[in-house]
Amino acid sequence: MRLILKEFHEGSGSKNSKDYDPTERMKPLDVVKVMMGVYSDRANIKRFMNNGRFWAKHQEYDYENLYQVAEATVKDYYLDLLTGSGETSSKKRKLNEA
């Protein structure tokens, strides 16, 4: 899920403006639609329709479970992005163990 979010922001030309504009961000529902291959008119989703790396890779999974995970992941991703930490949870764990 983080890869979808990362590719969404790295692929867009104006990275900083999309990071801070809540209307231009990927929503948890957008991430789930990309992963399950659900078509939509939103530009955020249309952009991934021809990307075989992400599109419809998790059709067999339960929508509700994917949505719960997507909510937490999207929230954490944008919190990390806005605070500038950008660390993954494994890096945070290693710092706490040392």
Alpha carbons 7 and 10: distance in angstroms, whole number: 5
Check residue 98 and give its pLDDT.
44
Weakly modelled stretches of the chain, pLDDT under 50: 96, 98
Q: Which pTM value belongs to this model?
A: 0.71
At 15 the pLDDT is 54
At residue 97, the pLDDT reads 53
